[in-house]
A and B are shown apart, each in its own frame.
Chain A
């Protein structure tokens, strides 16, 4: 059976297996655990001790606690990935056997944070490099070893490029004559106009 929150594919077996573990926790506590898992997905620190306290009533073993966090993480991020609305998510989770109160609690937490989650996932998408900043300076060349009177302006540009992976900034310096710089600027303005038509 196909589920939208799994990207129109079958639900993975391990998710199916853990639904029954989720049902063991009370629906109120489940909503609080969801809040913690959402913090983790949004890049904030997860408070594992709080989760341990919340699951202590259900007498879950440590393996079950980790499985709970994993399955909630999967459901929430997968639903955000495929842009599933909270109603559909609730009905699909109930089809998988999650009790109604648990499903609605989960989906309410999801609904609050859906757009922040999607923003975060968009930011984490594959990206090879990123422009950090640009610095520039205009000089005027008076004279050189080749020609006594040069009298030409020159632009120095430094692009600070950030490598996505190691968070390192590399500086790429470029020096251009006035003509070259004008060509560069004209081309970039054309690209910008094209980009604006798409926004």
Chain B
């Protein structure tokens, strides 16, 4: 799958040939740091001074590289189809008209960091609330204002959920019969994993 680079993107990356071999390493490192931790204007300024280029050019170069790496990692699958994605990457940057050496360094940068970039991108999905913990309590109601001498068991639960670092809690109460039904339904759900249909799909995914 080929990447289509916009004119602006190509212009930003245009600073790379001028910067030279060592600079590519530096810019590559900055791009990866920006991916991991966010923009670092100070680091860009230092790099600009070291390489004797304008700060804006460096900034654009870093962003351009970062975008190139994330788009390539996003669209091109990894390991099983390795050969294909290498060729795709090379073809995609060929349009930039860089020297062979530069192309090779860019390819190396992509291959070295592809796995990490993919795992970072994987964490950006929106998340539903997920289970954190469950507190429970078993009570027996013996009497109330309206009726004495009762025996009414109840299970009170506090379900703690996590959603993107937000913790919420839901209080639920049920009688033992409903709780048993709930447990039975959940066990049936788990049991589905052992059915042939699920097994076949899981086998194919691995």
| A residues at B contact (CB < 8 Å) | 125-128, 165, 187, 191, 194, 198
Contacts and interface: CB of A to CB of B under 8 A. Distances in A.
Nearest to B148: A194
Contact of B143 (A126, A165, A194): A194
Contacts of A194: 142-143, 148
Interface string B122-162: 00000000000001110000110100100000001110000
A198 B137 contact: no
B171 interface: yes
B142 A198 contact: yes
Contacts of B158: 126, 128
A125 B169 contact: no
Contacts of B136: 126
Contacts of A128: 156, 158, 171
6 contacts: A126-B156, A128-B156, A128-B158, A128-B171, A165-B169, A191-B143
Interface of B: 135-137, 142-143, 145, 148, 156-158, 169, 171
Contacts of B143: 191, 194
Given A125-B137, A126-B158, 12 more contacts: A126-B135, A126-B137, A126-B156, A126-B157, A127-B137, A128-B156, A128-B158, A165-B169, A187-B145, A191-B143, A194-B142, A194-B143
Nearest to A198: B142
A165 B167 CA distance: 11
A166 to B, nearest CB: 10
A127 B158 CA distance: 9
A128 B148 CA distance: 24
A101 to B, nearest CB: 35
B143 to A, nearest CB: 5
A126 B169 CA distance: 12
Among A126, A165, A198, find the residue whose CB has the most chain B CB atoms closer than 10 A. Answer: A126
Contacts of A198: 142
A19 B143 CA distance: 48
Contacts of A126: 135-137, 156-158
B118 to A, nearest CB: 26
A198 B148 CA distance: 14
A131 B121 CA distance: 48
A127 B156 CA distance: 9
B61 to A, nearest CB: 40
A170 B142 CA distance: 28
